[in-house]
Amino acid sequence: RRPARPGAQVAQALALRELRQESARLEGQRQKVEERLAAAEAELKDLRQKAARAEEARRAAEAARRACEVALAGADREIQVLQSVAGAAQAAAQAATASTAPEAPSPCAGGWTAALQQIAEAGALSGLTP
């Protein structure tokens, strides 16, 4: 057998050194990629939590909006009832004024009775009972 040439050993040693350097460079890149991946995963987790909180806030806002709509509808009904009661009270006041005039018929002839009946009907519409 012939001994290896010294030039071949030098070439092998250089190639081995280059491979080790390349391996170290690739290992450094791998670590950097893993760090970036971990940072991206943490950011993704944070964004998912923020999205979940935003969805909860959206649902709460939607529930509040529906509650406001219900309250507004109730207030509208209440206003209508109060307007009806006010109209009946105005009619009662007009009937009372008319019944005090000298030529007016007796309150029992319908003036007071009709006004009181209107007030009672308006109260019944609102759910109020005398």
Distance CA 60, CA 53 (A): 10
Phi, psi angles (nearest 5°) of residue 72: -65, -40
First and final CA of the chain: distance in angstroms?
Answer: 126
Question: Alpha-carbon distance 116 to 28, whole Å?
Answer: 94
Judge whether 85 and 123 are in contact, CB under 8 Å. Answer: yes
Average pLDDT of the residues of the chain: 84
The whole-number pLDDT of residue 109 equals 54
Contacts of 120 (CB under 8 A, 6+ apart): 130
Nearest to 89 by CA among 126, 114, 124: 114
Q: How many helices (H) and strands (E) does the chain have?
A: 2, 0
Query: Tell me: the pLDDT tens digits for 51-77?
Result: 999 999 999 999 999 999 999 999 999
pLDDT > 70: percent of the chain: 75
Q: Are the CB atoms for 107 and 80 separated by under 8 Å?
A: no
Q: What is the pLDDT of residue 4?
A: 60
pTM: 0.49
The secondary structure of 36-71 as a DSSP string is: HHHHHHHHHHHHHHHHHHHHHHHHHHHHHHHHHHHH
How confident is the model at residue 127, as a pLDDT? 59
pLDDT per residue as tens digits for the range 83-128:
988 888 888 888 877 766 555 555 555 566 666 676 777 666 655 5
pLDDT band at 25 (very low <50, low <70, confident <90, very high): very high
What pLDDT does residue 126 have?
58
What is the structure's pLDDT at 2?
A: 58
